[in-house]
Chain A
Amino acid sequence: MTEKGQALCDIKFLDFGMSITGPIVGKYFSDHGAIVVKVESKERIDISRTYVPMAGNIPGINRCGWFDQYNTGKYSIGLNLNRPGGIELAKTLVAWADVVSDNFTAGMMEKWGLGYQDLVKIKPNIVMISMGLFGQTGPLARQSGFGTMMQAAAGFTYPIGWPDRPPTGTSCPYTDFIGIWYAIVAILSALDYRSRTGKGQYIDLSQHESGITFLSPAILDCTINDRIVPSMGNRSSYAAPHGAYRCAGDDRWCVIAVSNDEEWQAFCQVLGNPEWTEDVKFATHLGRKKNEDELDKMIEGWTSRKPAEEVMLKLQEAGVPAGVVETGEDFHKDPQLTHRNRFVRLDHPEMGVHVYEDSSWRLSKTPAEIRRSPLFAEHNEYVYKKILGLSDEELAGLLVSGVLE
Chain B
Amino acid sequence: MKTENLLSPYRALDLCNETGALCGKILADLGADVIKIERPGGDSSRRLGPFYKDIPDPEKSLLWFAYNTSKRGITLNIETKQGQEIFKELVKSADFVLETFPPGYMSRFGLDYEELSRINPRIIMTSITPFGQTGPYKDFKPSDLVALATGGFMYISGDPDRAPLRFSVDQSYTQGGAQAAAATMIAFHYRQMSGQGQHVDVSIQECFVTVSFQVQSHWDLLGIKQRREGVRTPRGKIKPRNIFECQDGYVSWRIFVADQGIKTIALVDLMKEWGEIEPEVENVNFARIDMSDITQDQLERWEEGFAKFFAKHTKAELRREAVKRDIMLFPVSTTKDLLNDEQLQARDFWVNVEHPELSAYITYPGAPFKSTLAPWRISRRAPLIGEHNTEMYEEELGLTKEEVRLLKEQGVI
Q: Report B250 CB to chain A, min CB distance, Å.
A: 6
CA–CA, A234 and B166, complex, Å: 6
Interface residues on A, range: 35 or more
A326: B residues at CB distance < 8 A: 149-152, 155, 215
Q: DSSP majority for the B interface?
A: mixed
**A212 interface contact, C-beta 8 A:** yes
B251: A residues at CB distance < 8 A: 152
Given A217-B50, A357-B213, A366-B187; A233-B165 close (CB under 8 Å): yes
**B392 interface contact, C-beta 8 A:** no
Instruction: Decide if A217 touches B165 in the complex (CB within 8 Å).
Output: no
One of A36-44, A76-84, A223-231, A385-393 at the interface: A223-231
The one of A54, A213, A215 that contacts B335, using a Cβ cutoff of 8 Å: A215
Given A201-B373, A337-B206; A2-B193 close (CB under 8 Å): yes
A229: B residues at CB distance < 8 A: 168-169, 335
Interface contacts beyond A181-B179, A320-B141: sample of 8 additional A-B pairs, CB < 8 Å, sorted by A: A135-B370, A168-B159, A168-B165, A186-B371, A217-B63, A218-B335, A224-B362, A343-B216
Given A181-B178, A326-B151; A224-B156 close (CB under 8 Å): no
Q: Report B319 CB to chain A, min CB distance, Å.
A: 9
The one of A216, A236, A336 that contacts B137, using a Cβ cutoff of 8 Å: A336
Q: Report B177 CB to chain A, min CB distance, Å.
A: 9
A137: B residues at CB distance < 8 A: 346-347
The total number of A-B Cβ pairs within 8 Å is: 502
Q: Report B51 CB to chain A, min CB distance, Å.
A: 8
The proximity string for B residues 87-105 relative to A, scoring 1 for CB distances below 8 Å and 0 otherwise, is 0000000000000000000
CA–CA, A185 and B212, complex, Å: 22
Instruction: Decide if A220 touches B66 in the complex (CB within 8 Å).
Output: yes
**A122 interface contact, C-beta 8 A:** no
**A14 interface contact, C-beta 8 A:** no
Q: Considering only CB atoms and an 8 Å cut-off, how many residues of chain B contact the other chain?
A: 148
B137's nearest neighbour on chain A, judged by CB, is: A336
**A19 interface contact, C-beta 8 A:** no
Instruction: Decide if A148 touches B218 in the complex (CB within 8 Å).
Output: no
The one of B140, B155, B185, B224 that contacts A184, using a Cβ cutoff of 8 Å: B185
The one of A160, A177, A184, A222 that contacts B167, using a Cβ cutoff of 8 Å: A160
B residues contacting A by CB (< 8 A) are 4, 6-7, 9, 26, 30, 48-50, 52-54, 62-63, 65-67, 113, 131-132, 134-138, 140-159, 162-171, 174-176, 178-183, 185-190, 192-196, 198-207, 209-222, 224-231, 233, 242-243, 245, 249-253, 323, 328-339, 342-344, 346-347, 349, 362-374
The one of B49, B219, B372 that contacts A327, using a Cβ cutoff of 8 Å: B219
Given A168-B228, A219-B364, A323-B145; A145-B374 close (CB under 8 Å): no
Q: Report A219 CB to chain B, min CB distance, Å.
A: 5
**A10 interface contact, C-beta 8 A:** yes
CA–CA, A213 and B367, complex, Å: 8
Instruction: Decide if A204 touches B370 in the complex (CB within 8 Å).
Output: yes
B164: A residues at CB distance < 8 A: 244, 253, 325
A181's nearest neighbour on chain B, judged by CB, is: B178
Q: Which of A183-241 contact B (CB under 8 A)?
A: 183-186, 188-193, 195-197, 199, 201-206, 208-210, 212-225, 227-239
Q: Report A285 CB to chain B, min CB distance, Å.
A: 14
Instruction: Decide if A152 touches B333 in the complex (CB within 8 Å).
Output: yes
B368: A residues at CB distance < 8 A: 179, 182, 186, 205, 209-210, 213
CA–CA, A156 and B171, complex, Å: 10
**A111 interface contact, C-beta 8 A:** no
Q: Report B375 CB to chain A, min CB distance, Å.
A: 10
B50: A residues at CB distance < 8 A: 217-218, 220-221, 224-225, 227
4 cross-chain pairs, A with B, having the tightest CB-CB distances, nearest first: A328-B219, A152-B252, A361-B183, A216-B66
B367: A residues at CB distance < 8 A: 209
Given A166-B243, A219-B335, A328-B220; A237-B6 close (CB under 8 Å): no
A338's nearest neighbour on chain B, judged by CB, is: B135
Given A172-B156, A216-B67; A156-B369 close (CB under 8 Å): no
Given A209-B366, A225-B53, A323-B150; A331-B209 close (CB under 8 Å): yes
Instruction: Decide if B333 touches A153 in the complex (CB within 8 Å).
Output: yes
CA–CA, A167 and B162, complex, Å: 13
The one of A140, A162, A196, A327 that contacts B215, using a Cβ cutoff of 8 Å: A327
Instruction: Decide if B331 touches A153 in the complex (CB within 8 Å).
Output: yes
B243: A residues at CB distance < 8 A: 152, 157, 166-169
Q: Report B256 CB to chain A, min CB distance, Å.
A: 10
Given A168-B157, A229-B168; A359-B221 close (CB under 8 Å): no
A325: B residues at CB distance < 8 A: 149, 154-155, 164
Instruction: Decide if A10 touches B193 in the complex (CB within 8 Å).
Output: yes
**A277 interface contact, C-beta 8 A:** no
Instruction: Decide if A206 touches B347 in the complex (CB within 8 Å).
Output: yes
The one of A54, A319, A324 that contacts B149, using a Cβ cutoff of 8 Å: A324
The one of B49, B158, B194 that contacts A160, using a Cβ cutoff of 8 Å: B158
B363: A residues at CB distance < 8 A: 219-220, 223
CA–CA, A230 and B212, complex, Å: 23
Instruction: Decide if A209 touches B333 in the complex (CB within 8 Å).
Output: no
**A159 interface contact, C-beta 8 A:** yes
A331: B residues at CB distance < 8 A: 152, 209, 215-216, 219
B148's nearest neighbour on chain A, judged by CB, is: A255
B338's nearest neighbour on chain A, judged by CB, is: A155
The proximity string for A residues 162-178 relative to B, scoring 1 for CB distances below 8 Å and 0 otherwise, is 10011111111010011
Q: Report B144 CB to chain A, min CB distance, Å.
A: 8
CA–CA, A400 and B187, complex, Å: 44
**A69 interface contact, C-beta 8 A:** yes
CA–CA, A159 and B144, complex, Å: 14
A-B contact pairs, 16 of them (CB 8 A): A66-B217, A146-B328, A152-B252, A160-B157, A170-B153, A172-B212, A172-B215, A181-B182, A201-B372, A224-B53, A228-B334, A255-B145, A322-B146, A340-B203, A355-B216, A360-B176
Q: Report A270 CB to chain B, min CB distance, Å.
A: 13
A7's nearest neighbour on chain B, judged by CB, is: B190
CA–CA, A221 and B66, complex, Å: 10
Given A257-B146, A336-B136; A361-B179 close (CB under 8 Å): yes
Instruction: Decide if A337 touches B166 in the complex (CB within 8 Å).
Output: no
B144: A residues at CB distance < 8 A: 257
Q: Report A31 CB to chain B, min CB distance, Å.
A: 9
B6: A residues at CB distance < 8 A: 189-190, 192-193
Q: Report A329 CB to chain B, min CB distance, Å.
A: 5
Instruction: Decide if A216 touches B206 in the complex (CB within 8 Å).
Output: no
B159: A residues at CB distance < 8 A: 161-162, 165, 168
CA–CA, A193 and B189, complex, Å: 11
B323: A residues at CB distance < 8 A: 139-140, 143
Instruction: Decide if A155 touches B333 in the complex (CB within 8 Å).
Output: yes
